[in-house]
Amino acid sequence: MKFKTIIEPFRIKTVEPIRQSTEAHRAAAIRAAHYNVFQLDAEDVLIDLLTDSGTGAMSVYQWAGMMKGDESYAGGRSFHAFVGSVREITGFRHVIPTHQGRAAEHILARAMLRPGSIVPNNTHFDTTRANVEHCGAVALNLPIAEGREPETIHPFKGNMDVAALARVLHEHAGNVPLVMMTVTNNSEGGQPVSLENIRRASALCRAHRVPFFLDACRFAENAWFIKTREPGCADKSPLAIAQEMFRMADGCTMSAKKDGMANIGGFLAMNDDALAATCRNSLILTEGFPTYGGLAGYDLEAIAVGLHEALDPDYLHYRIRSVEYLAEKMIAAGIPIVEPPGGHALYLDARRWLPHIPPHQYPGWALSVALYVAGGIRACEIGSVMFGRQPDGSERPADLELVRLAFPRRVYTQSHMDYVAEVLVYLNTVAKDLRGVRIVEQPPVLRHFTAKFEPLPR
Give 257: exposed, middle or buried? Use CB within 10 Å, 0-12, 13-18, 19+.
Answer: buried
Asked whether 207 and 215 are in contact (CB, 8 A), the reply is no
In what helix (H) or strand (E) does residue 317 lie, and over which residues does it extend? Answer: helix 313-332
Q: Which stretch binds ligand F0G (CB under 6 A): 5-13, 95-103, 129-137, 391-399?
A: 95-103
Asked whether 191 and 147 are in contact (CB, 8 A), the reply is yes
Of the pair 257, 416, the CB lying nearest ligand F0G is at: 257
> Contact between 102 and ligand F0G (CB under 6 A)?
yes
Peptide bond into 90 cis (omega under 30): no
> Contact between 255 and ligand F0G (CB under 6 A)?
yes
Q: Which stretch binds ligand F0G (CB under 6 A): 41-49, 60-68, 121-129, 235-243?
A: 121-129
Binding footprint of ligand F0G, residue count (CB under 6 A): 15
Of the pair 72, 286, the CB lying nearest ligand F0G is at: 286
> Contact between 128 and ligand F0G (CB under 6 A)?
yes
For ligand F0G, the binding residue among 30, 37, 51, 119 (CB under 6 A) is 51
Q: Which residues contact 22 (CB under 8 A, 6 or more apart)?
A: none
> Contact between 85 and ligand F0G (CB under 6 A)?
no
> Contact between 101 and ligand F0G (CB under 6 A)?
yes
d(CA 202, CA 162): 10
Q: Smallest distance from the beta carbon of 28 to ligand F0G, in angstroms?
A: 27
Q: Which residue is nearest to ligand F0G (CB)?
A: 101
For ligand F0G, the binding residue among 186, 194, 291, 368 (CB under 6 A) is 186
Torsion of CA 145, 151, 155, 159, to 10 degrees: 20
> Contact between 53 and ligand F0G (CB under 6 A)?
yes
> Contact between 257 and ligand F0G (CB under 6 A)?
yes
Q: Which of 271, 300, 272, 301 is nearest to 287 (CA)?
A: 300
d(CA 417, CA 266): 29
> Contact between 222 and ligand F0G (CB under 6 A)?
no
Q: Smallest distance from the beta carbon of 364 to ligand F0G, in angstroms?
A: 15
Strand 212-215 and strand 251-255: the pairing is parallel
Helix intervals (H) in 181-237:
195-207, 219-229
For ligand F0G, the binding residue among 40, 66, 144, 217 (CB under 6 A) is 217
Q: Which residues bind ligand F0G (CB under 6 A)?
A: 51, 53, 100-102, 125, 127-128, 182, 186, 215, 217, 255, 257, 266
